[in-house]
Every structure is written in C-alpha cells, then in structure tokens.
Structure 1
C-alpha cells in the first residue's frame, strides 16, 4: 500500500471509530476491527493481486452507511463521499468502495447475489464470518435485545423467500439463525472463508440443538 493510502486509511479508521464506538447493537468499532483483520487474513490467502487499500477502507466503512444504524442512508452515503473526497481518495477508488459497501449486505442479496469484485468478495466474507460462530451468537442476541426481539417462539416458523422488508421485520432471535446465519456458509466467496464458515456453522448448529433440547426439557 502506498504511503498516501496508508495515511488515508488512518483517517478513515478514525472517522469510523468516531461513528461506531458507542454502538450497542453489535455493529460497534470492535466489530469493524475484527472484519478488517479477517479481510486481511482472507486477502493473504489469495494469489491474485488485491488492492489492500480497497479491502481495508471498505471493511472500515461498510457499517457507517448501514440502514439499520443510520437515520438516512442517503445522507450517510453523501457524508462518506464528502469525507473520502476531502482526504484525497481517488474518484475511481471511491466508486469501487461504494460498489462494495452498498451491495455486500445479506438483505441486498436476498433475491439474487450481486457480483462483487474480488476485493468486495473478501470484505463480504469477512463481515459474514463475524456473524457466525461464538461471536456471531453473542452479536445476534445483543442485537435482538437492543431491538426488543423475543428470544424464541416455537409457534413462529422461520421464513424463506423473503422480501427485503419482510427480512427486516424479524422479531424472533432464534429464527434469525435459520433465516440468515445458517445460510451464510453456502454464500461464502473465497476458499478460506468457506473452511472457516463450516467450523463456525457447526458451532451454531450445536448451540441450536442444545437450546432446543433445554427449551423442550430434554436436558
């Protein structure tokens, strides 16, 4: 990475830290740090030439425009564009970053998976990996509690073929595992992410099996 890009990354990192440090939904700055580290790990596993600046900047910025976290996604996007321009990020790079962060979410890919660049695939995988496994379980319940979702209702059946609005209208924490988290292993892009996801998904399934057994008084 060029010296100028390294300085820009530092400024982006501070911008994101200022935005997300106080988050109480599981999308805080610690989540961002984990996504960045995982994205770098996934990048190092690839033989192709990868723009590390695009990977790191997109990993840092992906949640500051998230519709779940901002009052207006349009205003949030405009603020990020102005900020990136102000620190001298090339317009082509800004376009690449926005192509990633506006198309990588699970909810934006319900009906058809958007084709991301390799950098985008890496960032998407890194973010999705942080949604599964032990940390994923913790984040899921943390988010559900913040939004006053009930933990479980056996009468509420997990949904399939949801629209964007239907997906967002989730009130049951356990159903989120079936409606999203268990599905992510099949949607990973890179070989290393798939291997990691298989282990983390197995952990999710073991947790759900234990949860259901305790719920039903079988243990």
Structure 2
C-alpha cells in the first residue's frame, strides 16, 4: 500500500479517536502538529511517512486523553499492521509516540530518532504562543484547576508522577513549570526559531495577567 493511502487511513483513525476530546488535544491540535512536523521534516530531510504517522497518532495513546493507554497502543499497532506498514517502521512509530511527551522527559527520556525529535518539537510548539495559552487555560478548566493563587509557588524538579498531580498545580503556574522551559528543550534549529516568538507571546501575556491581577492596569 502506498504511503499516501496509509497516511489517509491513519488520518481517519486519529480523527475518529480524538473527535470528542475536551482537553485541548483534539484533532485540530493533531492537524497543527502534523503541519509543523511536515515543515520540519522537509528542513531536516527526515522520513516523511514516519514523521507524519507519528504526528497523527501521538495523542491517540496519551494517558491524559484515553482511559487505557495500553489498549490504545494495541489498537494503533493493529491499524498499522492492517495497513501493511513494515514491522521496522511500526517499531519506530510506536517508540516515538510512547516516549516523546514532556512528562516522559522528566524521568530521563531516551534519545528519540530524528523523526521523533521533529514530532516532539511540533507538539511542544503547539503548547506555546497564543495557541498554547488557550490550550493551557482550556485544559486547566477541564480539570477544574485553580486559575492562580499567589501563595502556591511553581513546583521545581518534578518527576512524571508529581507533574501529573494536578491537585498541586494552578493554570498560571503551568507556564513556569512547563511552558517557559520548552524553547530550551527543542531539538531542531527550525523549531527553535519558531519558538522565539511564541515564547515572547507567553511572557507578554503573563506580564499582563500579573499586572491586572494586582490591579495595576
């Protein structure tokens, strides 16, 4: 089966799986990540199929999004087998999507292949800038997080378990605990260039938020 047909079926699979997401990981997020990943893959001369398949599938197995991540991974492997994706490529794609998250990076993540680095960059870019601000607030609201409490300080030296403990997080602290770190964690030069503006947008927003919270503007 030609790769364009395979990607078409993977697209449809991911679209169905994420059609009703209310956490900020909807299929519109997947489409933006895929577009960014395609651009970066071209710049880095990476394998386009592995990059795009990983970008399309990366949130279909995320434990923030699905009830059973292992069952979801089994479904992904079954899909790729049905589409006659080679076992070698299936192994790379599944490794990427199970190791690329920010949460996994907190526990000393193993190095991703180039295609995985690109998808990770694209995913993290979509957590930054105006879109990133909106998604952070949307996700926090979905989980009934406190917007801001100046007596709750941002957490440091987080591991995956504590990072996922939303009882100890506020929406605004999420900027300090994750989002402001992303620009220095990106893998590719193209992503780092795009991140500069997005990071500046977030800092401007937080400066304005803080001033208004304290009734200074």
**Do these two structures clear the TM 0.5 threshold for a shared fold by scoring above it?**
yes
Taking the TM superposition and a 5 Å limit, the aligned residue runs for 1:1-219 are 4-46=2-44, 48=45, 50-170=46-166, 171-219=169-217
Structure 1 residue ranges, 4+ long, deviating more than 6 angstroms after superposition: none
> What is the CA distance between 1:22 and its match in structure 2?
1.2
Instruction: Report the TM-score, using the length of structure 2 for normalisation.
Output: 0.97
Q: Is the 8 A contact 2:23 2:138 kept in 1?
A: yes
Distance 2:165 2:135 in 1: 18
Alignment size in residue pairs: 215
Whole-Å separation in 1 of the counterparts to 2:38 and 2:2: 19
Provide Cα deviations, 1:106-151, integer angstroms capped at 9, x if missing partner.
0001142421111111000000000000000001101111111111
Could you tell me how far apart the structure 1 residues matched to 2:19 and 2:31 are? 11
Task: Give the TM-score, by structure 1 length.
Answer: 0.96
Q: Distance in 1 between matches of 2:122 and 2:68?
A: 25
Superposed CA deviations along residues 147-175 of structure 1, whole A, max 9, x for unmatched, are 11111011100011112111001231001
* Cα drift, residue 21 of structure 1: 1.4
RMSD in angstroms over aligned alpha carbons? 1.0
Could you list the per-position Cα deviations for residues 161-208 of structure 1 after superposition, in whole angstroms to 9, with x for gaps in the alignment?
A: 112111001231001100000000000000010011111001101100
Query: Are 2:149 and 2:170, in contact at CA under 8 Å, matched by a contact in 1?
Result: yes
